[in-house]
């Protein structure tokens, strides 16, 4: 039996907008950036809290992946998010006269 969380996460992961949201969240969390030792005097507890929270979110989202593809390190979710970022939806092509559509008559 599939849990409500699995259903919810599968539905969200099917949305390109949600995958783009995850990408922005991953970027701001710092989980893909090289860490710092704290030698520069910065307080690292805030940054580590953001990273930790993003890992928890990714673990929750991983429940939306098919059971055979789930991974303890959320690899399939990261791949889906990176694929969305690398291959954005194609932009709508305008017809040959479309450049004149914006001109008021």
Contact 65, 79 (CB under 8 A): no
Q: String of b and e for 48-76 (b: at least 16 CB within 10 Å)?
A: eeebeebeebbeebbbbbeeeebeeebeb
Place of tokens 């969380």: 5
pLDDT by residue for the chain (105 residues), tens digit each? 889 999 999 999 999 999 999 999 998 888 887 665 666 556 678 788 888 999 999 999 998 888 888 888 888 898 889 998 898 777 766 665 666 666 665
Among residues 21, 68, 30, which one has the least CA distance to residue 49? Answer: 30
Q: What is the pTM of this model?
A: 0.69
What burial class does residue 84 get, using C-beta atoms within 10 Å of its C-beta: 0-12 exposed, 13-18 middle, 19+ buried?
buried
Which of these, 84, 50, 54, 44, lies nearest to 62 by C-alpha position? 54
Q: Pull the structure tokens for residue 27.
A: 């970027």
């Amino acid at each position: 039996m599939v849990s409500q969380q699995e259903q919810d996460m599968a539905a969200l992961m099917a949305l390109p907008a949600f995958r783009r949201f995850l990408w922005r969240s991953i970027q701001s969390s710092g989980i893909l950036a090289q860490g710092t030792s704290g030698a520069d005097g910065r307080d690292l507890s805030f940054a580590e809290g953001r990273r930790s929270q993003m890992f928890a979110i990714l673990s929750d989202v991983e429940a939306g992946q098919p059971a055979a593809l789930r991974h303890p390190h959320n690899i399939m979710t990261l791949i889906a998010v990176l694929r969305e970022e690398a291959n954005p939806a194609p932009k709508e092509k305008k017809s040959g006269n479309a450049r004149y559509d914006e001109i008021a008559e």
